[in-house]
Structure 1
Amino acid sequence: MTRFFLSLSALLCLVSCSSENGKVDPTPTPTPDPVKIPINISMDVWTRVTDTAYESGDKVGIYVVNYQGASSGTLQSSGNYVDNMCFTYAGNWTPESEIYWKDETTKANFYCYYPYGEPSDIAAYPFSVKTDQSQQADYKASEFLWGKASGISPTANAVPIITNRSMSNMLIYVAPGKGFTEETLAAATKSVRICNVKASATVDLRTGVATAVGSATEIVPYNEGTYYRALLVPQTVADGSNLVTITVDGVDYTLAKGFTFKANTQHKFTVTVNKASSGVDIGVGDWEIDDTDNGGAAE
């Protein structure tokens, strides 16, 4: 019995001595807290229709959809990793509240739209351009921009998102025809209306595609000085429709023409005003994607 107690004492001494020598550490190692990486965004400066950059105070909505393993997630109206977080621009983009990546490895898709709103259905978000865009503020309020960044890995750097225009841009140049000179047309009182176009749309926030809905109306464009411009919902105007009406000194001159307005595209129309018509004359212009001058004679 004496030998047993001596042996047990020796064993306890050995364990104690080993611990003191650093060979045995009975204290468990604490699990480190997971790293939290803030989500930041950035956007290219050429994305705005009206300016070379977003303006201070502009707000965008951001959705973040995490990958499920190697598979991309699907954007839903709610229940995404981040739902419609408002980011405000003031030299850089600041979220309404701090958001973080899920972890250090999970990829994500980012969906962005401008201007910020409260979509209840991301597949059919209602948006309308202004019917009176004669003031620059109302022209700007007719913009809708959308962008997506896919398969982004967690990073402390800002996620770059390129936003493109879901609307179409119509440029109207008024040119003197029969019965007018440059001087007499410049001196005349003029107004321009775009006719038989729909101002309302639903936008699919999964793709940025805008679909025209509702009844056709008239839109008053913004006068840039040498031409007029308006933001329109992408749509097709039927052949033979009164597309543009130009009023010169109280007299209406109309351009009858069908046309398809495309998203993210500027369409140039040079409308020649004739007091005596000899038919529709469509010239050829040169402007980026849509390089056809889609104008004609207004009578």
Structure 2
Amino acid sequence: MIMYLSGVTKDYLIITYMRFRQNPIFALAAFAALILASCEKDIDVTNENFPADGVVRIDANVSGLITKADLPYSGYTGSDLGLFIDYGDSDYYSKDNVRWVNNGGTWTPESQVLWKNAKSPVNIFAYAPHISGADDHTSVEFSIPSNQVNGTSSADFLWNSMPGFVPADGLVNQKLSITFSHVLVKLKVNLTFGNEFGDSHSVKDVILNGTSSKIKCDLANRTVADLDQSSSNDISMCNTADYVYEAIFFPGKGQKSGARMLTVVMSDNKAYNVTLDSNLELCGGSAYTMNVKVGKDKVLAGDVRVVEWLPEKELGDKDSYIDEYSVWDGKSTESITKGSGSESDPYLIESAAQLAGLAYDINNDKLENYKGKYYKLLKDIDLASKPWTPIGNSTHFPHLRLEGNGKSIINLKVDVSAGYAGLFYWLSGTSSTEKSVVSNLTIRNADVKAGGRDAGALVGFTSFTDIMNCRVDGVVASAYCAGGIVGSGDPSIINCRADVNVTVNAPAPTSTSRPMSVAAGGLIGDISFNNEHDNTITNCTVRGTVTVSNQDQSESGNDFHAGGVAGLAFANVMDCTSYAEINSTYEKEVHIGGLVGTVGAGGRITNCSAYGTVHGKKNNFVGGAYGYAVGSHERVHFGGKIENIPDVGTGAVGIFIGHAYGVFQTKNCSYSNVDGCSFPVIGKDESNGAQDIKMK
């Protein structure tokens, strides 16, 4: 009789057979366990998109410009790629840098890769082209070719990361769909010539000077570092059309003020150079064009403009039209000239300079009747990582309705020494019927920091505000409260998504008490409840990392909180999912949970799940769903992982909740049989409510 076991390797069966000959009792027990494991694996296949044999299969695509939302994409046609499947160190199903080969559009791995099961979350990292020996996904090194005369494809390094991926939820037709983004910068140079050249001129070479020769990529944190700053990689560019040259590169010394960036070599070997008057601020994943006019005695370089990174052959529909971004120079402001501010005729924001002008006018009291008015964004905006002053300040709290219109604001950079950092300083309605509203807006590649309280990619603090259908990604940090979208306040956050790295690092207190709670969350740091407008967090998804720490490790804790959706929640949270990794680096009383760090009075969590990894420290209260909670909770699930904490000290660790207190009660709540099952379901139980928390 021949028995086929799903996911069982031939080598394992041979080993079991040899052990049977040596020790029949041991081998029979092992074989029985093996059959049970196989059956358990098959039973776990409850989703039609999950393959019955558990084998990982992929489709690979390449997106458009990394900083442009919802662009078309095309099939990746490279010869190979590298894939990391990370279930955790030493896990049998984890695989590092497996090479996949493209065989006529079908991707085949050089060694078989299996899913652990349908429901266990896994961190997935991919890159292309494959690099032998790159077995650490946080340190993938790529050398950029200097000779690109015959094409730029060999210089195009691609990446993708999917932390907390759940196969049952994310597979498409039983395949893992990988959509790559470009890591490096693409430059197209358009040459024109002065009349003095006449018709008898030709170009021998165009050289892009002073770029980096080698980079190191951290696929998990999506960071890129220059590994060879001491040397200069001068690239011979590819001639793609008459007097049009392209190259893919990582910026180096040649893109700094005063550098000789470009050399045009004519057929008579005479060279003409472009020297920069100021630093070029170039963003990875973006494509740029540069217009260069060559004269007999000088070269004139025009503005560098951002364009889409979409070769025409990859668009599918060659008549497709994609707007260019309106790029801010960091200084220009313009007044809005169209619209009346009514709901039917909103003020129209048509450029980056007009958005900057709105911020300037509000902050300097230049607008008389802007409060309660309607605004609509008509253009994708690139703030070009120039220092942005948030809209609003300590004397002007914006009350407005902004319709994002599906547009994106990219490369937002805010760094304030005090508090309230974001695109907006503060958003404040006046009542439940006169709210501020932001809808249908994407903020990408945000870098927002506050030296004091309240930082969020969209807004630092809110009151009577609705935020709907918004997406953010980037980095947010503050000293007290930080969230991917909002720092703190009483907003309703509906149908939103955040892919962020949020950090709160509290300073040492200057008095016996702190001015406020210390809270970090994937969507919001601290959400309070406002019964006048019944604010909630509804139908939102979070990915990334959330970290809370303290610069004074000796200070007593008890008001530190971190969670995937919110650090501290006194409002209702419904239909939300977090895949975020939650971290504490502070060995005092800190409340950390996969969904919410602390659920306070008035908070109620319904139909929510957390699938990320939760890392706690000694004396922390750690739970898969919550660190600390009161109130009623229904249909809440934890399917992630709790990292082992050898010494809990005065804290507690629970698979579901660290510390349950008072009227804490649950109904139809659950957790998966994942790492962390050595902990109790409730770490410290001081509740008097009925509990319904089951393993499934």
TM-score, with normalisation over the residues of structure 1? 0.72
Count of matched residue pairs: 247
Tell me if structure 2 keeps the 8 A contact 1:77–1:121: no
Distance verdict in 2 for CA 1:145–1:189, change over 3 Å = closer
Residue 4 of structure 1 aligns with which residue? none
- Please name the residue that 1:158 is paired with: 175
1:219 has 2:223 as partner = no
Structure 1, 282-291 or 194-203: larger mean CA deviation? 282-291
Secondary structure, aligned partner of 1:261: coil
Letter in 1 for 2:184: M
Determine if the alignment matches structure 1 residue 54 to structure 2 residue 73: no
* Deviation at residue 95 of structure 1 after TM alignment: 1.6
Gaps of 5+ in 2: 1-34, 43-52, 67-72, 309-323, 328-696
Q: Secondary structure at the match of 2:248?
A: strand
Contact 1:285 1:291 in 2 (8 A): no
Picking from 100, 109, 133, the partner of 2:148 is: 133
Map 1:86-235 → 2, pairs under 5 A: 86-90=99-103, 91-117=105-131, 118-136=133-151, 139-155=152-168, 157-177=174-194, 179-181=196-198, 183-184=199-200, 187-214=201-228, 215-226=231-242, 227-235=244-252
Higher mean C-alpha deviation, range 159-168 or range 143-152: 143-152
* CA spacing shift, 1:48–1:61, aligned 2, 3 Å: farther
Instruction: Give the AA of the match of 2:208.
Output: I
Q: How far apart in 1 are the matches of 2:146 and 2:92?
A: 35
Q: Is the 8 A contact 2:210 2:252 kept in 1?
A: no
| 1:200 CA displacement | 1.5
Secondary structure of residue in 2 paired with 1:224: strand
Which residue among 271, 294, 300 is the counterpart of 1:252? 271
Q: Would you say 1:287 and 2:302 are equivalent positions? A: no
For 2:90 and 2:137, locate their aligned partners in 1 and report how far apart those are by CA, in whole Å: 5
Residue 148 (structure 1) shift: 1.5
Q: Is the 8 A contact 2:80 2:128 kept in 1?
A: yes
- What is residue 269 of structure 1 aligned with on the other side? 290
How far apart, in 1, do the equivalents of 2:121 and 2:240 lie?
A: 45
Structure 1: runs of 5+ lacking an equivalent? 1-29, 67-72, 293-299
Alignment match, 2:538: none
Deviates more, 1:165-174 or 1:82-91: 82-91
Change (3 A) 1:263 1:283: closer
CA contact (8 A) 1:113 1:144 kept: yes
CA distance in 1 between partners of 2:91 and 2:194 (Å)? 56
Question: Is this contact kept in 2: 1:144–1:165, CA < 8 A?
Answer: yes
Q: Distance in 2 between matches of 1:233 and 1:285?
A: 17
Please give the root-mean-square deviation of Cα atoms over the aligned residues, in Å. Answer: 3.1
How much has 1:220 moved relative to structure 2?
0.4
2:271 counterpart letter in structure 1: D
Shift of residue 165 of structure 1? 0.9
Residues 205-260 of structure 1: CA deviation (Å, up to 9, x unaligned): 22343222321231101111231111101446220100001012221111001423
Asked if the contact 1:47/1:164 (under 8 Å) is kept, the reply is yes
Question: Residues 133, 78 of structure 1: CA spacing in aligned structure 2 closer, same or farther, 3 A cutoff?
Answer: farther
Kindly provide the amino acid, as one letter, of the partner of residue 180 in structure 2: T
Q: Take 2:111 and 2:220, find their aligned partners in 1: how far apart are those partners?
A: 23
* Residue in 2 that maps onto 1:18: none
Paired residues of 1:178 and 1:276 also in contact (CA < 8 A): no
Measured in 1, the distance between the counterparts of 2:246 and 2:112 equals: 39
Task: Select the structure of larger CA radius of gyration.
Answer: 1
SS at match of 1:162: strand
